[in-house]
C-alpha cells in the first residue's frame, strides 16, 4: 500500500496563486501608468475600475484565507498528525510577512513623498523650462545661421562657378562654412547634377521644386532632423539650384517634444499639489493589501508542502508499527526530505524481506519437522498392509476356497497403500530438497505456451488458456524448469476450480517497485474462487480443500518464487474467480 498524494492539486493551487500574483503586478503597473498619464494630460482617471479591482482582490483573498483557517481548525480538532506544526508554520510566515511589509510600506510612502518633492520641485520645473528654451534658441540660431550663409556675398561669389566645378565650390563652402553639412546642385529640370556632404541630408528634385529661395525649412527622417534652404544661381552655363543643409543634433525633435511634455506634467502637478501624493499613497495601499493577503495565503500552501513528507512519515511509521510492511511513501521532490523518504522505504522493504525470510524459514523448518513426523507415522498404513499379507498367507495355508478373491483384494489394498505412501514421501522429499534455481534468460511467452500445451485436452471441456497479451520479446531471468512447475501447479488448480469450463488468462507487464524493476505475471481464472476462511492457509504446506492431494503444490510454488527473490499473492472473489500475481525481479 502507498500513501495517497495529490501533487497535481498542490501544483495547480500554487500555479493559480502565482498567476494571481502576476496579474496583480500587471494591474499595478498598468493602472499606475494610466493614472500618471491621466494626471499629466489633465484627464480624469478611471477610478471606478481601479476601486472595483482594488476591492475585489482583497475580498476574494480574504474568503480563501478564511476557508483555509476553518479547515485548519477542523484538522486541529480532529487531531490529525502535523496540524500543530502546520499552525506554527503559518503563524511564522505571517509574522515574517508583517515584519517585511510594514517597514517597507512606511519607507515606500516616505520615499514617494520625498521623491515627489525632490523630483517635481520648483527648481526642477525651472530647469526643464530652461532646457526647452535653450533648445528653441539653438534651433533659431541654427536656422538664422544657415539663412545668413545663403544670402552672404562670399557664398554668392563662390557659386558663380557651380555649373562647371561643383566639387571645388563644395570644398570651399565646407572650409568656410563648417556648419553646412550637405550641398546639392540641381539644373532647371530639377535633376541632381552634384551631391556633397552627409548623404542623409539629400533631398529629391520634387522637394527642391517646392522650396522658395531664402526660406529655411526643416526635414525629419526617423530620429534625424536637418535644416535646408535653396538658392538660385545663373551662370554662363545656365541656371542652377543649390540646396544647403545643416544637421540638428540626433533626436532633437524627440528631446524637444519630451521637454514640452515634461513642462505640461509639471504644470499639472503644480496645480494638483499634495493631492497627487495622497492619490499615489492610496493607490499603493490599495494594491499592497492584496499582495499582503496573497503572501499569507501562500504560507498555507507552503506549510502543507513542508509538513506533507513529515505527516507521511508519521503515518507510515504507525502503519509499519502495526505490522503493515507493504506501506510505502511516494514523493516527487528531490531534496533532503526525499532522501529521508527513500531511506525509510528502503528500510521498510528490508524489514519486509527479512520478515518474509524469517516466516519462510520458520515455515520450512516447521514442515520439515512435519515431514519427519509423517515418516514416523508411515508405520500406521503398514499395519493394514501387514494384516492383508497375513490374511493371504492364512487362507493359502488353510486351502480356503475363496483364496483367489481374498488374494486379489488384499494385494489391491497393499498396492494402493504403497503407492499413496510412495507419492507422499516423494512430494515431501522434493519439497524439503528443492534445489537452488539455475537462472537463465527465458522467453516468458514460450515458457507459458509450453506448459499450457500439456493441458490442451482441457479445451475439450470448454476451458481455454489465453496468453496472447504477453509480449513476444519479454525475457525473464529464471530457472525454466522450476517456473514450469509454478505454472503447471497454478494451471492445474485453476482447471480444477472451473469444472464447468471457463478461461485462464495469463498476462505480464513490467512494473517498478521503488528503484527496482519487476516483471508482474497474472494468472486469472473464472472459477469458484477461494473462501475467505482459507485465505491465510493457501500457501501452508499440507493444506488442501480437495479430497485428494498432499496440499504441497502452492507451498512449492511459493518456495520457488521466494528462491527467485520474488513475491506471490492472490486476489479472489467467490464464484467470480481468482487471480494470482507473481513479481519476478527484472
Long-range contacts of 230-234, Cβ-Cβ distance < 8 Å, separation of 24 or more: 231/150, 231/155, 231/156, 231/159, 233/156, 233/159, 233/160, 233/162
Residue 430: per-residue pLDDT: 63
Residue 280: per-residue pLDDT: 67
Return d(Cα 518, Cα 552) in angstroms, integer: 26
Instruction: Tell me which residue has cell 552672404.
Output: 152
Return d(Cα 570, Cα 574) in angstroms, integer: 13
Residue 581: per-residue pLDDT: 95
Query: What's the grid cell of residue 416?
Result: 494402493
H or E segment at 580? strand 577-585
> What's the count of helices (H) and strands (E) in the chain, helices before strands?
15, 12
Radius of gyration of the chain, Cα coordinates, nearest whole angstrom: 50
Asked if 504 contacts 491 with a C-beta cutoff of 8 angstroms, the reply is: yes
Return d(Cα 31, Cα 51) in angstroms, integer: 11
Q: What is the 3-state secondary structure (H, E, C) of 464-524?
A: EEECCCCCCCCEEEECHHHHHHHHHHHHHHHHHHCCCCEEEEEEEEEEEECCEEEEEEEEE
Nearest alpha-carbon partner for 143 in 179, 178, 109? 179
Give the CA angle between residues 40, 46, 47 to the nearest 5°.
105
Whole-model pTM over 0.75: no
Q: What confidence tens digit (pLDDT) does each residue in 515-533 have?
A: 678 899 999 998 888 888 8
Tens-binned pLDDT, residue by residue, of the chain (586 aa): 444 444 444 556 666 666 766 766 666 666 666 555 555 444 544 556 656 666 677 777 788 888 888 888 887 787 777 777 778 888 887 888 778 777 777 777 677 667 666 666 667 777 777 887 888 888 888 889 888 888 888 888 877 888 888 898 898 888 888 888 899 999 888 889 899 888 888 888 888 888 888 888 888 877 788 889 999 888 777 888 999 999 888 888 888 888 787 777 777 666 666 666 676 667 666 667 777 777 777 777 777 777 777 777 777 777 776 666 666 666 656 656 666 777 777 777 777 788 778 777 767 765 665 666 566 556 656 777 877 788 788 888 887 777 778 788 888 878 877 877 776 676 666 666 667 788 999 999 999 998 888 776 545 556 788 898 899 889 999 998 889 889 988 988 888 888 777 889 999 998 887 667 889 999 999 888 888 888 887 887 666 666 555 667 788 888 889 888 899 999 998 888 999 999 998 7
> Largest Cα–Cα distance in the chain?
174
Residue 328: per-residue pLDDT: 67
Return d(Cα 457, Cα 136) in angstroms, integer: 110
Residue 457: per-residue pLDDT: 54
Residue 548: per-residue pLDDT: 59
Amino acid at each position: 500500500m502507498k500513501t495517497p498524494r495529490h501533487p497535481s492539486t498542490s501544483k495547480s493551487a500554487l500555479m493559480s496563486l502565482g498567476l494571481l500574483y502576476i496579474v496583480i503586478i500587471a494591474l499595478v503597473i498598468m493602472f499606475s501608468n494610466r493614472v500618471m498619464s491621466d494626471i499629466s494630460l489633465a484627464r480624469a482617471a478611471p477610478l471606478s475600475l481601479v476601486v472595483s479591482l482594488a476591492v475585489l482582490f482583497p475580498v476574494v483573498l480574504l474568503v480563501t484565507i478564511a476557508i483555509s483557517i476553518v479547515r485548519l481548525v477542523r484538522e486541529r480538532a480532529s487531531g490529525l498528525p502535523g496540524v500543530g506544526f502546520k499552525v506554527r508554520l503559518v503563524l511564522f510566515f505571517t509574522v515574517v510577512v508583517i515584519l517585511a511589509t510594514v517597514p517597507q510600506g512606511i519607507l515606500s510612502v516616505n520615499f514617494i513623498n520625498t521623491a515627489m518633492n525632490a523630483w517635481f520641485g520648483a527648481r526642477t520645473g525651472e530647469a526643464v523650462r530652461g532646457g526647452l528654451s535653450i533648445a528653441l534658441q539653438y534651433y533659431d540660431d541654427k536656422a538664422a545661421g544657415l539663412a545668413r550663409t545663403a544670402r552672404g556675398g562670399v557664398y554668392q561669389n563662390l557659386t558663380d562657378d557651380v555649373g562647371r566645378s561643383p566639387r571645388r565650390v563644395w570644398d570651399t563652402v565646407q572650409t568656410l562654412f563648417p556648419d553646412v553639412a550637405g550641398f546639392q546642385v540641381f539644373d532647371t529640370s530639377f535633376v541632381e547634377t552634384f551631391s556633397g556632404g552627409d548623404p542623409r541630408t539629400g533631398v529629391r528634385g520634387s522637394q527642391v521644386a517646392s522650396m522658395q529661395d531664402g526660406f529655411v525649412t526643416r526635414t525629419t527622417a526617423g530620429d534625424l532632423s536637418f535644416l535646408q534652404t535653396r538658392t538660385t544661381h545663373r551662370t554662363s552655363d545656365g541656371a542652377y539650384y543649390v540646396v544647403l543643409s545643416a544637421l540638428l543634433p540626433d533626436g532633437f525633435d524627440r528631446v524637444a517634444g519630451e521637454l514640452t511634455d515634461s513642462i505640461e506634467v509639471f504644470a499639472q502637478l503644480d496645480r494638483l499639489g499634495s493631492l497627487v501624493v495622497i492619490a499615489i499613497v492610496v493607490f499603493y495601499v490599495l494594491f499592497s493589501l492584496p499582495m499582503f493577503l496573497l503572501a499569507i495565503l501562500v504560507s498555507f500552501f507552503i506549510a502543507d508542502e513542508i509538513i506533507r513528507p513529515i505527516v507521511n512519515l508519521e503515518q507510515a511509521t504507525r502503519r509499519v508499527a502495526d505490522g503493515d510492511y507493504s506501506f510505502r511513501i511516494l514523493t516527487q521532490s528531490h531534496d533532503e526530505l526525499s532522501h529521508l523518504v527513500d531511506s525509510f522505504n528502503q528500510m521498510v522493504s528490508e524489514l519486509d524481506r527479512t520478515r518474509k525470510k524469517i516466516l519462510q524459514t520458520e515455515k520450512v523448518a516447521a514442515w520439515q519437522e512435519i515431514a519427519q513426523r509423517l515418516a514416523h507415522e508411515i508405520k500406521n498404513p503398514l499395519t493394514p498392509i501387514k494384516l492383508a499379507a497375513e490374511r493371504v498367507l492364512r487362507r493359502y495355508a488353510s486351502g480356503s476356497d475363496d483364496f483367489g478373491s481374498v488374494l486379489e483384494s488384499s494385494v489391491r489394498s497393499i498396492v494402493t497403500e504403497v503407492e499413496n505412501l510412495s507419492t507422499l514421501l516423494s512430494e515431501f522429499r522434493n519439497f524439503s530438497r528443492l534445489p537452488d534455481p539455475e537462472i537463465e534468460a527465458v522467453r516468458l511467452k514460450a515458457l507459458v505456451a509450453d506448459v499450457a500445451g500439456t493441458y490442451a485436452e482441457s479445451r475439450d471441456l470448454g476451458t481455454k488458456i489465453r496468453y496472447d497479451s504477453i509480449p513476444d520479446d519479454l525475457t525473464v531471468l529464471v530457472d525454466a524448469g522450476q517456473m514450469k512447475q509454478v505454472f503447471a501447479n497454478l494451471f492445474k488448480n485453476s482447471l480444477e476450480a472451473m469444472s464447468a469450463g471457463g478461461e485462464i488468462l495469463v498476462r505480464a507487464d513490467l512494473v517498478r517497485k521503488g528503484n527496482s524493476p519487476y516483471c508482474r505475471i497474472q494468472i486469472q481464472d473464472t472459477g469458484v474462487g477461494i473462501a475467505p476462511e482459507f485465505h491465510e492457509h493457501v500457501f501452508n504446506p499440507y493444506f488442501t480443500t480437495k479430497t485428494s492431494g498432499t496440499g504441497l503444490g502452492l507451498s512449492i510454488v511459493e518456495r520457488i518464487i521466494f528462491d527467485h527473490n520474488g513475491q506471490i499473492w492472490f486476489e479472489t472473489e467467490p464464484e467470480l474467480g481468482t487471480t494470482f500475481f507473481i513479481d519476478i525481479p527484472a
